[in-house]
Structure 1
Amino acid sequence: MANHDSVVESSPLKPNEAVSSPELVPDLATQPVSDLVDFGQMLFSQAEIFAASMLRPWNAYQIGIALGLWALAHVLRAILGPRIRNWMATREGWPKWRMRILVVVHQRLRPIFFVILLWIAVALMREFTWPSRSYVLGIIATLATAWLFVVFLTRLIRSKVLRRTVRYGAWTYVTLHILGLTSDAARLLDRASIEAGEFRLSLLLIIQAIVILGVLIVVARFFTTTTSKRIQSNEEISPSMRVLIVKVLQLAFYGIAFYIGVKAIGIDLTGLAVLSGAIGVGLGFGLQKVVSNLVSGVIILLDKSIKPGDVISLGETFGWINTLGARYASVVTRDGKEYLIPNEDLITNQVVNWSHSNDFVRLDIFFGTAYGDDPHTVRKLAIEAAQGVERVLTFKAPVCHIVGFGDSSVDYILRFWIRDPTQGLTNIRGNVYLALWDAFQENNISIPFPQREVKMLNNEPPNLPD
C-alpha cells in the first residue's frame, strides 16, 4: 500500500484550486483597469498550469478513458440506432407527444450512451481504485450529464435562435459552476465596465439584465397566452371587447415584467422617467400617424363599430375583418388578398359594415324583358327563380318591381336577402341571374338587346365638285 507521501503526490490538481488560489488570483474589485492585460496573462499562465496537471499520468489516462467511451458510444449509436428507429415505426397507436419524446431521445442517443458509460466507469474506478484516480473522469461525467439535461430542457423553446442562445448560456454557466469558477468569472465580467459619474454599466450587469428580463418575459408571455385563450373562448364577451381586454392584459403583463426586471437589476428609474418624457415629446411630433392609429384602434374597440368577422367595404376593398391590431386592421378579400388598413382610415373614411347590427344583407339586381311579355308573369317567375337559389332567404321573401320603361325593354329590379355576406356577394348575384335565365328560357320570356340596321340608299358614287 502506498505511503502518505505517495498519496499526496498522486492527488490531481483540481481546476478550482488552480484558478482560485490566493497567490494567483488577485482581488479584481480593487485592481485598476490598467492592469487588465496583466490579469489576462495571469489567466493564461493558470491555464498552462491546469493543462500541465491534466497531462500527468493519473489524469491523462482518465482523459483517454473518456475518449474511448465516446468512441464506444458512437459504435453503440451506429448499431442500436436503426433498430430503435424501426421499433419506433411500429408504434403507430402511440400519442404524438410520446412519439416526439422518442424522436428527441433518438437524436441524442450518442451522448446518452456516453453519459451512461461514463458513470459506469466512474463507479467501477471508485470501487477498485483511489477516489483521486477517477476525479477528472467524474468531472467529465458531471459536465456531460448537465449538458445533456440542458439540451432536453431547451427543446421546449420553439424559437431556434432563442433556443440556441439559452442552450449556450446554460452550458457556459453549468461548466463554470461545476469547475468552481463562477465567482471568478463574475468578478472578471464586473471589471469590464463603463463609468460616467454615478452611472456604471458592466458586462455582468448586462448579462444579469438579459437573464432576468428574459425569464420574466417568458413568464409574462405564458400568463398572457393562457388568459387570452380563456377570454377568446368566453362567448358572453363581444369580439371587440375580447380584443381590447387581450391587448390591455398584454401591455400590463409585459409592463410589469419590465418594471420588476429593471428594479431587480438595480437600475434607478427616476432619471429614466425624465429622459423618457423628453423622448416622448420628440417622438410625438415624428410619430403622429402611428399615435393616431393607436388611438383610433382603441376607439374602434370601445365603440364596437368594427369587430373581427365583420364584412366591410372601404373604397374598392371588400372583405371581412380578420384581426384588429394596435396599428391596423387585417381585411381578407374573396380572392385571398389581405389588406392592412390603418385604423385611422376606418375612423375618418366612410366604411360600409355589412354585418354591424345583424347579418342580413339585401342585394339588388336589374334586368329587362321585351314589351310583348306579360309583366305580371315576369315578376312571378323572377321571385320564384330567386327563391330557388341556395343562400337566398325565404322567410324574407324576394320582391320584384318595375322601375321604368326603356327604349327596348321593360326594366325591373329584383331584391332578395342573404345572411352570410362572408361567403361572397358576386357569386350569389351570378346564381340568381342564372336562375332568371333558366326560368325565362322555359317560359319563352325574351330579354331584348339593342339592334342596329344599316340601309344603303343607292350604289352610285357621290358627285364631287370639279
Structure 2
Amino acid sequence: MAGHSDLSETGDSATGDAQLEQVLSIGNDLFDYLSKFADGFIRPWNLYQIGITIGLFALAHLLRAVLGPRIRAWMAARENWPKWRIRILVVINQRLRAIFFVALIWLTIFVMREVTWNSRSYLLGIIGTLAFAWLAVVFATRLIKSPFLRKLVRYGAWTYVSLRILGMLEPAETLLDSAGFTVGDMRFSLLLLVQSLVILGVLVSLARFFTATTAKRVRTNPDISPSMQVLIIKGLQIAIYGAAFYFGVKAIGIDLTGLAVLSGAIGVGLGFGLQKVVSNLVSGVIILLDKSIKPGDVISLGETFGWINALGARYVSVVTRDGKEYLIPNEDLITGQVVNWSHSNDFVRLDIHFGTSYTDNPHDVRRIAIAAAQGVDRVLTTRPTVCHIVGFGDSSVDYILRFWITDPTGGLTNIRGNVFLALWDAFTENNISIPFPQREVKLLNEAKTDQG
C-alpha cells in the first residue's frame, strides 16, 4: 500500500511540474512578444502615429461638441418616425465621438497609404481596427437588455477580437486552459469558464430578443384569444430558452449524458419537495387550455373581487377596484369555486333591495323604481329591468329591483350606489316614503305613578 501511495504522489508531482513548466513557457512567450512590441513601439514613426491618434481623438471630441446639439434637435423634430428608428438614432447619438474617431482615423490611414509607405500607418491601422471592433461590439450588444450581461458580452467579445487582431489569441487561450483541472473525460479551466459565459450570454440574449419579438406579434393578433396568446408565449419561451441552453452547453463541449442522469435524479427529489409548485404549474396550463379564465375577465373568489390582470406560470394576478393586486395560486382557481362574471358573455344582473311605506301604492312604486333605474348610465335598456314585491315586513313593503349591465370592470358598488340615488330622487319627487323602524319606550316608574 505504501508503494502505491508513493507512485501516486510521484505522478501528481510530475503532472504539477509539467503544468508549471507549461505556464512559465507561455509567460516567457508573452513577455518576449510584449518586449518586441515595446521595442518597435518607441520608433519615431510609431510615436508620430500616436500623436496623430491623439489629435484625431481631440478632433472627434470637438466635432461631437459642435454637431451633437444640432443632431439632437434634428432627432427631436422626427415625431412621426417609428420607435425603433428613434432608438437607433439615440444609440448613434450616444456614440458620436467614437463614430467620428473611426471615420477620421480610417480616412487618415487611406490618405497615408496613398502618399507614403504602409509601415508609416501600421500602428494607426491596428488602432483603427480596434476602435471599429469596439464600435461594432457596442452596437451589437445593445440588443441585450440586462446591464450586467451586456457588459459581460461586450468586454468579452472585444477582448477576443483584440487578442485576435494583435495575434495573441492562441497564447492567451493556452494560458487560460492551463489553469484548470480534469474530472473524468471533462476538463474545467478558466478558458472554459470564459467561453461558457460569452456563448451562453449571447444565446440567452438572442433567445430573449426572439421571444420578445414573437410575443409582441402574438399579442397584436386579433384572431388569437387572450388565453391562447399566453399559452403560445409561454410555450415559445420554454422552447427557445431550452434550445439556447442546449446549444450553448453543446458548443462549450460538455457531455449531456451525465447531466441527463443528474437532472433526472434532481427532478425526482424536486417532485416530492415542490408538489405545490408543480401543481400550480399544471393548473396554469389547464386554465390556459380550457379558457375558463382569461386576461380581462372579472372574477370573484371568496372576498376578492377584481379583474384578471395577467396569467402567470404559478399564479394569477387579480387587480381590485381599490388598486390592490392579489396573486392567487393557480391551484385555488382550479379546485375552488370561482365566479367569472364575464366567462361566456359580458351581461351581469344586479339586485337591489329596498322597502316603502304601506300607505304607498305598490303598482306606482314598481313603475317609478323601474323608470328610475333605466335612467342611470350603464344600466341596459335592451334587457328588461324588473321590480317585484318579496314580502311584507314589520314596517315596510319589501321589494327587489333587478337590472343588467355589460361592463363589470367599471365596478359594481358604484352602479348600485347610482341606482339607489336615483330611487331616492324619484321617491322624493313622487312623495313615496321609505320607512324605518320606530320603537316606543315606556318607563315602569312613570306607568305606576299614572295608575296611582
CA distance in 1, matches of 2:48, 2:213: 53
Specify the alignment match of 1:150 in structure 2. 137
Letter aligned with residue 243 of structure 2: I
CA distance in 2, matches of 1:231, 1:191: 48
| Residues 18-33 of structure 1 mapped to structure 2, 5 A cutoff | 32-33=18-19
Q: CA deviation at 1:342?
A: 0.5
Give unmatched runs, 5+ long, in structure 2. Answer: 1-14
Distance 1:92 1:236, change over 3 A: closer
| Residues 312-327 of structure 1 mapped to structure 2, 5 A cutoff | 312-327=299-314
2:418 corresponds, among 407, 428, 431, to: 431
CA distance in 2, matches of 1:147, 1:223: 24
> RMSD over aligned Cα, in angstroms?
2.9
Find the residue that maps to 2:352 and give its secondary structure.
Answer: strand
Distance 1:149 1:222, change over 3 A: closer
CA distance in 2, matches of 1:90, 1:220: 34
CA distance in 1, matches of 2:157, 2:424: 73
Q: CA deviation at 1:400?
A: 1.0
Structure 2 contact 293–343 (Cα < 8 Å) conserved: yes
Find the residue that maps to 1:120 and give its secondary structure.
Answer: helix
1:407 aligns with 2:394: yes
Find the residue that maps to 1:242 and give its secondary structure.
Answer: helix
CA distance in 2, matches of 1:383, 1:458: 51
CA distance in 2, matches of 1:213, 1:111: 28
Distance 1:126 1:241, change over 3 A: closer
User: Residue by residue, what CA displacement relative to the aligned partner does 1:188-236 show, whole Å, maximum 9, x if unpaired?
Assistant: 2222222122221223233333333344334444443444444444444
Structure 2 contact 26–171 (Cα < 8 Å) conserved: no
Distance 1:200 1:295, change over 3 A: same
1:276 aligns with 2:289: no
1:124 aligns with 2:111: yes
CA distance in 2, matches of 1:227, 1:113: 36
Give unmatched runs, 5+ long, in structure 1. Answer: 1-28
CA distance in 1, matches of 2:93, 2:57: 17
Structure 1 contact 402–410 (Cα < 8 Å) conserved: yes
Letter aligned with residue 393 of structure 1: L
Distance 1:400 1:216, change over 3 A: same
1:35 corresponds, among 17, 21, 29, to: 21
Find the residue that maps to 1:155 and give its secondary structure.
Answer: helix
CA distance in 1, matches of 2:233, 2:27: 55
Normalising by structure 1, we get a TM-score of: 0.84
Distance 1:196 1:117, change over 3 A: same
Structure 2 contact 366–388 (Cα < 8 Å) conserved: yes
Distance 1:57 1:260, change over 3 A: same
Normalising by structure 2, we get a TM-score of: 0.87
| Residues 100-119 of structure 1 mapped to structure 2, 5 A cutoff | 100-119=87-106
| Residues 76-225 of structure 1 mapped to structure 2, 5 A cutoff | 76-86=63-73, 88=75, 97-225=84-212
Of 155-164 and 133-142, more deviation after overlay is shown by 155-164
Find the residue that maps to 1:444 and give its secondary structure.
Answer: coil
CA distance in 2, matches of 1:239, 1:74: 51
Q: CA deviation at 1:313?
A: 0.7
Structure 1 contact 382–400 (Cα < 8 Å) conserved: yes
Find the residue that maps to 1:336 and give its secondary structure.
Answer: coil
CA distance in 2, matches of 1:114, 1:224: 36
User: Residue by residue, what CA displacement relative to the aligned partner does 1:371-412 show, whole Å, maximum 9, x if unpaired?
Assistant: 111111111111111111122122321111111222211111
The structure with the largest helix share of the pair is: 2
Using the aligned pairs only, state the percent identity: 73
Structure 1 contact 387–397 (Cα < 8 Å) conserved: no
2:356 corresponds, among 364, 369, 382, to: 369
Q: CA deviation at 1:268?
A: 1.8
CA distance in 2, matches of 1:97, 1:247: 25
CA distance in 2, matches of 1:84, 1:302: 51
1:68 aligns with 2:55: yes
Letter aligned with residue 69 of structure 1: L
Q: CA deviation at 1:355?
A: 1.7
Distance 1:260 1:103, change over 3 A: closer
Find the residue that maps to 2:295 and give its secondary structure.
Answer: coil
2:253 corresponds, among 266, 269, 275, to: 266
Distance 1:270 1:118, change over 3 A: same
Q: CA deviation at 1:300?
A: 1.8
Of 429-438 and 120-129, more deviation after overlay is shown by 120-129
Structure 1 contact 385–435 (Cα < 8 Å) conserved: yes
Letter aligned with residue 298 of structure 1: V
Specify the alignment match of 1:342 in structure 2. 329
Letter aligned with residue 427 of structure 1: N
Of 324-333 and 181-190, more deviation after overlay is shown by 181-190
Find the residue that maps to 1:32 and give its secondary structure.
Answer: helix
Distance 1:418 1:90, change over 3 A: closer
CA distance in 1, matches of 2:348, 2:129: 70
Letter aligned with residue 314 of structure 1: L
Letter aligned with residue 106 of structure 1: N
CA distance in 2, matches of 1:286, 1:326: 18
CA distance in 1, matches of 2:394, 2:320: 38
Q: CA deviation at 1:67?
A: 1.7
| Residues 282-321 of structure 1 mapped to structure 2, 5 A cutoff | 282-321=269-308
Distance 1:159 1:343, change over 3 A: same
CA distance in 1, matches of 2:239, 2:397: 65
Letter aligned with residue 185 of structure 2: E
Q: CA deviation at 1:184?
A: 2.2
Residue-pair matches, total: 434
Find the residue that maps to 2:310 and give its secondary structure.
Answer: strand
